[in-house]
Chain A
Amino acid sequence: MRHAIRRLSVTVGATILLFAMAFLAPASLLAQHLAEFEQRMTEFTLDNGLKFLVLERHEAPVVSFHTYADVGSVNEVLGITGLAHLFEHMAFKGTKTIGTNDYEAEAKVLAEIDKIYEAIKAEQRKGLQADRSKLEELQKQFKQAQHEAQKYMVHDEYEEVYKLAGSAGFNAYTSWDATQYIVSLPSNKIELWMLMESDRFCNPVIREFYKERDVVMEERRLSIETRPQGRLIEEFLAVAYKAHSYGIHVIGHMSDIQTITRPEAEAFFKKYYGPANLTIAIVGDVNPQRVRSLARKYFARIPGGPKPEPVETVEPPQIGERRVSVEDPAQPFVLIGYHKPGINHPDNAVFDAITDIIGMGRTSRLYKSLVKEKKIAVAASGFQGLPGNKYPGLFLFYAVPAKGHTHQECEEAIYEEVEKLKAELVTPEELTKAKTRARAGLIRQLDSNSGLAAQITFYEVITGDWRNLFTQLDQIDEVTAEDVRRVAKEYFVKKNRTVGVIETTAAEN
């Protein structure tokens, strides 16, 4: 019965754990892997700035494509929160030639819809002075125009073309840092992807926009409003960040989703989807020379432009602990976050080691203390990568209290472990284990085309070089017990902390 469709979902950090594992110890084996990867990798950049990473892997006649757009909800401003994700949905609606039977006629109706919608908004802005009968008339016209537009649409064509061709894993996801579009195909269909994906970012047509806004509102109800832990994350980030846009959940505010317009979505696309802001990985049974010539043929037509500016807002240091609670009939939960630098800071590898030592597996410190010994939680861990990696994020601790135990008990027990990190050096065994597991963890990620495509685009865009997937190893290998203590002392302080809890309201048993 677990077949609900999970398309176009907002990533809320599960994948982050994966990235946290992606470092390794300098075993000769991995140096070998990197050398071998370099032989199989072909990199090239088109004149318009679009970068391709092509990795040959001939295990089976299939290929995975991964388009990484260096734009996420972090690029939004108030009034258009949720737009990066909403645009991702719109990128499945087709182009000037796919999804329509007469684009010129359709474009006129779409423009008409935009005009009516602006008129509706203008009237609504008058508040109590709004002319009700005029509004009703406009709403009627709005509906009619949308109906009219349907005549020119070839519904769901973009999706059906891929499906018919035998696609697998056709999807997309939006996070704070990025918007990513993925699909796998039998390897004889490379040219189909070239045509479809290039057209998607050359000639996108935002159609059925206002229906899709409704869909995203349902997604917000599903992932945030009916889920206590979803609500907690939204509240928690809003408190942890007062300046930086990491503080607003990817899904966006309901009132923004309700009022975003199609022209706003088009402007967002123009600003952030230029070829200089896209990186594409192609992994599988491919001939890199053919890929290169097809890429030129299809993608070179997209006009170039400057890469958009990064977010310049810097989150100021906290001046005291911040706390937030969600009152709900649900069972308790506690989430603790400390501000930390982004992924390219030298301390990142130290946080990776800390993640392993305190948070991974049954021998980790939090599991041992809270779950095995104190028996006050059923799960407890720590990780980094939320809300994102590109800008300074958070190191997070959490615990799921066992029945009959409170979030307060768990919070205290987590602080005990945090204080231990600051007072005592971690053992050599713990450090060695962290390094060994990092290495094995990486090897285990090298066996799937789609997984590799995700990893190499992430490292290429966020750290500047896909090779860091392997070479981050050198950094973790240099981590010492003293580093762990220094980092814990520097960052894990009360003043730098945000605490969020689910406070159970009605006693349910």
Chain B
Amino acid sequence: MRGSSFSGIRVFVFTAVLLCCIASSCTKQYARPYEDLKYPKLGDIEIPDVERLTLANGMRLFLVEDHELPLIGISARIRTGSIYEPADKIGLASITGIVMRTGGTVSKTGDELDEQLERIAASVETGIGLNSGSASMSVLKEDIDTGLAILADVLMNPAFREDKIMLAKIRHRSSIARRNDNVSSIAIREYEKLIYGPESVYARHTEYATIENITRDDLVAFHKKYFKPNNVMLAVIGDFDTGEIIKKIEKAFEGWQKADIDFPDVPKVQYEFKATTNVVRKEDINQSNIYLGHIGGVMSDPDYFALIVLNRILGGGFTGRLFKNIRSREGLAYSVFGLYSSNYDFPGIFYVGCQTKSESTVYAIRAMTEEVKKMTESEVTDEELALAKESYLNSFVFNFDSKGEIVSRLMTYAYYGYPEDFLQKAKENIEKVTKADVLRVAREHLKPDKMQILAVGRPQDFDEPLSVFGPVHEIDIAIPLPLPPKQ
């Protein structure tokens, strides 16, 4: 793909008109002045060659040289995640991810690694999220050997020292204690539980009891099960020679044996469309956090591309209908958002929401519901379609303005099993989307009469009772007490 060119769609190409009127006066009027501009052809985008290979131990590498600055960075993806942890040990994946690094390796304590890395202004970090583990390394190029050795050691030989397990548990307990301090995070957390179900691996969260249940042996076993070279991908970017760095990587991970991994089954998301009304009482605030919506989709759905266009028209930044109508026209909210979200490998959520003063809560819910309804009732305008599509195509170049972004995107596609040209395919498909397509996917995927409503706030101050939308279910967010200490 090197050197392949991309010319931005030129939207405003008209015959050249001298813009003397602009220069002549500060106040002179002219009609749509920008329409007369003539843009030169956009320069070629150099898409770098990304070297891809699989080492003998099964580890997959994606490398790209970038000689602008004397830096080298590695980011890794490991197939694991909290979706694989048992329900009575929620937090296991996260704590494993933290203590792999902080707890040190067989030969060095975590504190020694901290000293060694910070002295050379380098970093090595690890973490495990919902459906992917990550590791990263960043060094000045002259320190690559040190950085790489530590990265490999942390991935292969973590020691899980007890003192750092304790620290990680303190951190988790503290964040449980603080989880109701921030209204927005209450709203997001409770909304995810409404959509996926409170027990779902995609919505459940830690409790004091699940943290207490986790032992060092659990961490050791969790690491041992998933951290195998054939389960690891590395994206490598920076000021290096590709041939040389491959040799260094091979050497750093020498002796790491591949092994088959038996991944536990993850239950599929089951969703039944229904209209519900829910409230979380928060007595000390004067503004409501509101979410409306239902289950969303996956990126492999052929409708995904038309849904991108739909998203841009409904909720797209400052020019989407929600922003224009809820914020700019009505002044109801500072923050208003809406998205039919699609994930790589499990359904996302369709949601619209905002934060508005308590006294306009019900009004805002009605106004946002109306915006969803309109998407399913009539075609969007020609202008809206053009803005959504052309803004996507004209800003496409920003997908290629950082080599790091290019290589990590490739690795992400590989991780989730998407074709490596998925982005190009998306572009081609979006070019083809019509108004009829947008209406069709809106009708197919948005259910304005079967949305689940959540308001976090002070119901006695609402403009009308939430019960105007149906029976109100009150969600109790009191934090379950920790177990008494074990003897």
Contact = CB atoms under 8 A, between A and B. Distances in A.
Contacts of A444: 69, 71, 138
Interface string B375-396: 0000000000011001101111
B174 interface: yes
B286 A226 contact: yes
B191 interface: yes
Interface of A: 1-7, 29, 59-62, 92, 96-98, 103, 155-156, 159-161, 163-168, 170, 184, 186-189, 191-192, 195-196, 199, 202-203, 208, 210-219, 221-222, 225-228, 285, 297-298, 300-303, 328-331, 361-363, 371-372, 375, 378, 400-403, 429, 432-433, 436-437, 439-441, 443-444, 446-449, 508-509
Given A221-B287, A437-B121, A440-B121, A301 B394 contact: no
17 contacts: A1-B341, A7-B317, A62-B397, A155-B328, A164-B390, A165-B12, A166-B396, A213-B331, A218-B335, A218-B356, A331-B178, A378-B174, A403-B174, A440-B121, A447-B71, A447-B402, A448-B402
Contact of A375 (B12, B44, B170): B170
Contact of B318 (A7, A441, A446): A7
Contact of A328 (B40, B119, B284, B318): B284
Interface of B: 8, 11-12, 19, 22-27, 29-34, 37, 39-46, 68-71, 102, 111, 114-115, 118-122, 138, 140, 166-167, 170-171, 173-178, 180-184, 188, 191-192, 284-287, 315, 317-319, 323-324, 327-337, 339, 341, 349, 351, 353, 355-357, 386-387, 390-391, 393-398, 400-402, 478-479, 481-482
B244 to A, nearest CB: 21
A4 B33 CA distance: 33
Contacts of B327: 215
A142 to B, nearest CB: 14
A165 B9 CA distance: 9
A5 B174 contact: no
Contact of A443 (B71, B181, B323, B351): B71
A402 B335 contact: no
A378 B171 contact: yes
A482 B393 CA distance: 58
Contacts of B46: 60
Contacts of B174: 331, 378, 400-403
Contacts of A225: 285-287
Helix, strand, loop or mixed for chain B's interface? Answer: mixed
A461 B175 CA distance: 40
Contact of A440 (B41, B140, B182): B140
A215 B284 contact: no
Given A188-B39, A218-B356, A509-B482, 5 more contacts: A5-B318, A164-B386, A191-B39, A448-B402, A509-B479
B41 A188 contact: yes
B287 A222 contact: yes
A329 B315 CA distance: 34
Contacts of A432: 119
B34 A161 contact: yes
A22 to B, nearest CB: 14
Contact of B397 (A186, A212, A219, A329): A186
A96 B8 CA distance: 29
Contacts of A97: 29-33
A96 B22 CA distance: 12
B357 A218 contact: yes
B272 to A, nearest CB: 20
B263 to A, nearest CB: 26
Contacts of B479: 508-509
A285 to B, nearest CB: 6
Contacts of A60: 45-46, 397, 400-402
A375 B167 contact: yes
Nearest to B396: A166
B42 A156 contact: no
Contacts of B357: 217-218, 221
A168 to B, nearest CB: 5
Nearest to A166: B394
Given A159-B318, A441-B121, A218 B332 contact: yes
Contacts of A92: 318
A329 B42 contact: no
The list of the 4 closest CB pairs from A to B, nearest first, reads: A166-B394, A214-B331, A440-B121, A61-B43
B349 A196 contact: no
Nearest to A196: B34
B318 A170 contact: yes
Contact of A436 (B119, B334, B397): B119
Contacts of A170: 317-318
Contacts of B33: 97-98, 195, 199
Contacts of A168: 395, 398
A62 B398 contact: yes
B319 A402 contact: no
B70 A331 contact: no
Contact of B42 (A61, A226, A331, A446): A61
A222 B391 contact: no
Nearest to B189: A1
Given A60-B401, A329-B284, A156 B140 contact: no
Nearest to A367: B114
B188 A1 contact: yes
Contacts of B330: 211
A161 B327 CA distance: 19
A215 B138 CA distance: 41
